């Protein structure tokens, strides 16, 4: 079945460090891929998305490229800030009509220290 695997956390970085959170997926066909972020006590916010192979999603300095050949969608940011501390979820949407749903990875906690 369809699934998403993320690197385990927590990931602890110093401010201005480079961030990579790995995400790989298993799915037939061509799913859409997403990164969501969850701040403490809040719901999920869509961070970025890519709907086809080789697409690059970007937002707020974060980027991720849809790599069909490696079934990956790694999240990167060149210089993290303390305010980026949150839980990050990789997700895919697959299917249509009566079968579509979001499938999430287990989440990766990012802690950024000043």
Partner 1 sequence: KAGVTQTPRYLIKTRGQQVTLSCSPISGHRSVSWYQQTPGQGLQFLFEYFSETQRNKGNFPGRFSGRQFSNSRSEMNVSTLELGDSALYLCASSLDRNRNYGYTFGSGTRLTVV
- Which uninterrupted H or E stretch holds 35? strand 32-38
Q: Does 28 bind partner 1 (CB under 8 A)?
A: no
State the DSSP code for 16: T
Q: Does 53 bind partner 1 (CB under 8 A)?
A: no
Smallest gap from Cβ 111 to partner 1, in A, equals: 17
Smallest gap from Cβ 35 to partner 1, in A, equals: 10
Q: Does 73 bind partner 1 (CB under 8 A)?
A: no
Smallest gap from Cβ 20 to partner 1, in A, equals: 21
CA atoms of 11 and 111, how far apart (whole Å)? 6
Minimum CB distance to partner 1 smaller for 17 or for 22? 22
């Amino acid at each position: 079945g369809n699934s998403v695997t993320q690197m385990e956390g927590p990931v602890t970085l110093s401010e201005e460090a480079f961030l990579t959170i790995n995400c790989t997926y298993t799915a037939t066909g061509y799913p859409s891929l997403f990164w969501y972020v969850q701040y403490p006590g809040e719901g999920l916010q869509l961070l970025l998305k890519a709907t086809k192979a080789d697409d690059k999603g970007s937002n707020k300095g974060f980027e991720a490229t849809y790599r069909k050949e490696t079934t990956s969608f790694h999240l990167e940011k060149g210089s993290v800030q303390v305010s980026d501390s949150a839980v990050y979820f990789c997700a895919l949407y697959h299917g249509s009509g009566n079968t579509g749903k979001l499938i999430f990875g287990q989440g990766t906690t990012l802690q950024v220290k000043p």
